[in-house]
Amino acid sequence: MTEILQLLLLFVLGIIAGIINVNAGGGSVLSLPMLLFLGLDGSVANGTNRIAILFQNITAIISFKNGNHSKFKLSFKLALFTLPGAIIGAYSAINISNELFQKILAIIMIGVVITMILPKKSIIAVEELTKKQNFYVYLAMFGVGFYGGFIQVGVGFLLMASLHYLMKQSLVKVNMHKVFIVLIYTIPALIIFVISGNVNWGYGLVLASGNMLGAWWGVKFSIKGGDKFIKTILIIAIFLMSLKLLGAFG
């Protein structure tokens, strides 16, 4: 495979990953294996993928704002609690194996799908958090930050579950907060990977270009399709990722 063909394939996969990431999560299931296929080792692929995640979420935030979907104050408040976990997770990712963690995540993801399929009472969205919600939501944000800093793959699922069920937010608003939160914690995580020499800028910027385009389209689909569209994408993506993590695809 020629270098131009490799970069073109990486760009196209970036578009698909960007659409999936904005609407559900798990787009890195496509991009990370591709980076490994191109010859990067695990840590470098992990770090390189963060470049795409960073630019993807900047694009998504702008797109959501243009669609009149933004609550930056609450998004930033939630994002702050992911930062300690993200820093710890990124440092851990440089030296610690993630195999067992992936298996646990796969089981969690299957549980999320089951809860989404089961019928449930209608929920009322909240704009301000109670003290009890603060504790559980912020604890969840720390855990999300750690996992996001550690490997990133599938962190969107954890964020969506946390915000949808703990804060009673619609899936469109969940996605709106999600892209902002991921952007904030990705900054220190990426810095750690850069400092430790675990980033390939060439591949990262090509992937980022695709992710940005996919994110822009993904937000349009999200706003237009609403919760039903997002839920469909989310369920499909969760099942595919869970099977991947459990080794069903080799």
Q: Mean per-residue pLDDT for 103-130?
A: 57
Task: Residue 181: name the closest of 214, 137, 222, 221 by CA.
Answer: 137
Q: What is the pLDDT of residue 125?
A: 46
Q: What pLDDT is attached to residue 30?
A: 77
Q: Is residue 132 part of a domain?
A: no
Angle separating helix axes 201-245 and 99-117, nearest 10 degrees: 60
Q: Report residue 136: phi and psi, to 5°.
A: -70, -40
The residue with greater pLDDT, 240 or 41, is: 41
| Reported confidence tier of residue 50, pLDDT bands at 50, 70, 90 | very high
d(CA 65, CA 176): 9
Question: For residue 170, what are the contacts with CB-CB under 8 A and spacing of at least 6?
Answer: 125, 227
Does residue 201 lie within any of the structural domains?
yes
| Inside any domain, residue 128 | no
Tell whether 8 is covered by a domain: yes
- On whether residue 104 sits in a domain, the answer given is yes
Q: How many domains does the chain fold into? A: 1
pLDDT, position 85: 94
- The confidence band for 82, taking pLDDT boundaries of 50, 70 and 90, is very high
Domain extent, residue 102, equals 3-120+138-214+226-242
For residues 226 and 176, which has the higher predicted lDDT (pLDDT)?
176
Rounded distance between C-alpha atoms, residue 54 and residue 71, angstroms: 19
- Mean pLDDT, rounded, for 142-152: 89
Say if 249 falls within a structural domain. Answer: no
